[in-house]
Amino acid sequence: MPSAKTTPTAKTTPKATATPKAKATRASKPPKVVEPDDLVRETAGSYVSGDARFEVRQSDANWYLVDREQTNEFGQELIHGPFSSMKAAKAQMAGARDIKPLLRSTPRPKPTTQPKPPPKPKQTWLDKLSRDEATNVRKLIRALESQGVSDAESLVRKDRESLAPAIAQELLDRRIAALIDDLPDKEHAAAKKLIARLAEVLSDSGAMPDPLPGWALFETGPGREPTKRRVRTKG
């Protein structure tokens, strides 16, 4: 008789059970205890101490330690620093806890009397002119300065307050002096003598007998119209 076949039996592997040591490994770590002198980032460039008393603050390239519980003698933030790094500022926290700020200073009493206003600037002769007159006078001063007249303002004032044509006389004398300066040095003396003789001739308007006409140099005003002010040449 054929022998009966036997079927193999499946082997079962017992499930591994976690040991107490493995469970402890997978457990979460306890939260880190924040010490008073530890720094916790609050915002970019700003850190707060573990007890929230101090702030380490960055400004430009420096760091500062700010005491949040005390103020300085002016009632403002009590700031220590500057320090070159955040680490250097943090190192000062322990000592900063024992620092006592100065007593707040009392404000200075306000003066009982109002200060005197500054004196008004003294008026010049130009300020006393009308608006149109002052405009014309300033134009005349600038024109004289462009001709090299250093005391243009005083010359204009003299011309306005005098019967003589001070400006025309000054310009004529300058023109004659410039002609002499253009000559060689050895001819200056002879030129001055000639101009002196010419000045006598031009000024001697009454030398001619009647009915012959005479002559005179007069100042010209706006539009080159002659005025009644005579100009005299100088020798």
Look up residue 113 and give its DSSP letter: S
Cα–Cα distance between 55 and 46 in angstroms, integer?
7
pLDDT at residue 19, rounded to an integer: 53
Cα–Cα distance between 86 and 56 in angstroms, integer?
7
| Residue that the structure tokens 């000062």 belong to | 92
Q: Give the amino acid at 232.
A: R
**Mean pLDDT, range 210-226, rounded to an integer:** 85
Q: Give the amino acid at 130.
A: S
Terminal Cα-to-Cα distance of the chain (whole angstroms) = 173
Q: Name the percent of the chain in helix, strand, coil, to the closest 5.
A: 35, 15, 50
pLDDT at residue 49, rounded to an integer: 82
**Mean pLDDT, range 61-82, rounded to an integer:** 81
Cα–Cα distance between 173 and 148 in angstroms, integer?
13
pLDDT at residue 114, rounded to an integer: 76
Q: Give the amino acid at 146.
A: S
Contact 56, 64 (CB under 8 A): yes
Parallel, antiparallel or unpaired: strands 46-49 and 54-59:
antiparallel
Helix axes 131-146, 152-161, angle to 10 degrees: 130
Q: What is the pLDDT of residues 46-69, one digit of tens each?
A: 888 878 888 888 887 888 888 888
**Mean pLDDT, range 83-93, rounded to an integer:** 84
Q: What is the pLDDT of residues 6-56, one digit of tens each?
A: 545 545 555 555 555 555 555 566 777 777 778 778 887 788 887 888 888
Task: Copy the structure tokens of residue 220.
Answer: 């010209």
Q: What is the pLDDT of residues 95-116, one digit of tens each?
A: 787 777 655 555 556 667 777 8
Cis peptide leading into residue 82 (ω within 30°): yes
3-state secondary structure of 92: coil
Mean pLDDT of the chain, nearest integer = 79
Look up residue 130 and give its DSSP letter: -
Contact 173, 234 (CB under 8 A): yes
pTM summary value: 0.47
pLDDT at residue 132, rounded to an integer: 93
- Per the model's pLDDT, the better-predicted residue between 179 and 106 turns out to be 179
**Mean pLDDT, range 198-202, rounded to an integer:** 83
Q: Give the amino acid at 185.
A: D
Where are the chain's structural domains?
A: 39-96, 124-161, 164-235
pLDDT at residue 1, rounded to an integer: 46
Cα–Cα distance between 73 and 101 in angstroms, integer?
7
**Mean pLDDT, range 148-172, rounded to an integer:** 92
3-state secondary structure of 48: strand
Look up residue 101 and give its DSSP letter: P
